[in-house]
Amino acid sequence: MDFRELLKVRRAVREFQDREVPLSLIREIITDSCEAPSGGNNQPWAFIVITSREVRRRISVESKRNILALINAEPESALAKYKPILELDDFDVFYNAPALIYIAGPKTVRSAAVDCALAAGYFMLSAADRGLGTCWVDLGSAISSSELKEEIGLPDEYTIVATLALGYPVRIPVRPSRSDPRILKVVT
């Protein structure tokens, strides 16, 4: 797809068709993601793919519980606005997406957050290019249970940077409004 067209169809998707995403396709998108630039070409990104709905549901429950605990401890947190929805038992933070991708980086790599964010940007564009939809779901990244971390293969020395719901979109959502670019200064 033309890049200019892709900019229009890459939207945060929160309604997914009840249709599996083939693992081979997910692997292709991950390969594209690794074309992102990284500090010193260090490529510190690592991926976890979850297509088990049961595991995904348990992660959602775990993450909601941890974020609610955080909000209760810090009621002034910017996350507090999500409290009402997080308290709904049947709210799946991943919008029932058929697949869930974590992009994580080693805690020791200074640029890992930025590098993994670049890979996530490539992932979202590559997915849209293939007719898929993604949504970066930060509410799904709060995993503290060691058992669950082990179950999904997340080592202690890695931090989750991007949490992406993935699936076939029911529709391409309307583009959310954008502010005019904030250009602080042009020095000529």
By the criterion CB under 8 A, which residues form the site for its own copies? Answer: 1-4, 6-7, 10, 12, 23, 27, 30-37, 39, 41, 43, 45-52, 55, 78, 104, 110-111, 113-114, 117-118, 120-122, 124-126, 129, 136, 138, 151-155, 158, 161-162, 176-179, 181-188
Considering the complex, what minimum distance in angstroms separates the CB of residue 53 from its own copies? 10
Q: Which is nearer to its own copies, 31 or 89 (CB)?
A: 31
Q: Is 111 left (phi over 0), alpha (psi -120 to 50) or beta?
A: alpha
Beta bridge partners of 16: 169
Q: What does the alpha-carbon distance between residue 132 and residue 136 come to, in Å, rounded to a whole number? A: 14
Considering the complex, what minimum distance in angstroms separates the CB of residue 47 from its own copies? 5
Q: Which is nearer to its own copies, 68 or 114 (CB)?
A: 114
Q: Which is nearer to its own copies, 89 or 185 (CB)?
A: 185
Considering the complex, what minimum distance in angstroms separates the CB of residue 141 from its own copies? 11
Secondary structure class of 47 (helix, strand, coil): strand
Q: How far is CA 75 from the centre of its chain?
A: 25
Q: Which is nearer to its own copies, 23 or 170 (CB)?
A: 23
What does the buried/exposed string (b/e) look like for 9-32 if buried means 16 or more CB atoms within 10 Å of the residue's CB? Answer: bbbebbebeeeebeeebbeebbeb
Tokens matching residue 104:
């994580």
Task: Give the DSSP H or E segment for 165.
Answer: strand 158-167
Considering the complex, what minimum distance in angstroms separates the CB of residue 170 from its own copies? 19
Instruction: Please return the burial class of 129, using the count of CB atoms within 10 Å of its CB with bins 0-12, 13-18 and 19+.
Output: middle
Considering the complex, what minimum distance in angstroms separates the CB of residue 87 from its own copies? 19
Q: Which is nearer to its own copies, 111 or 168 (CB)?
A: 111
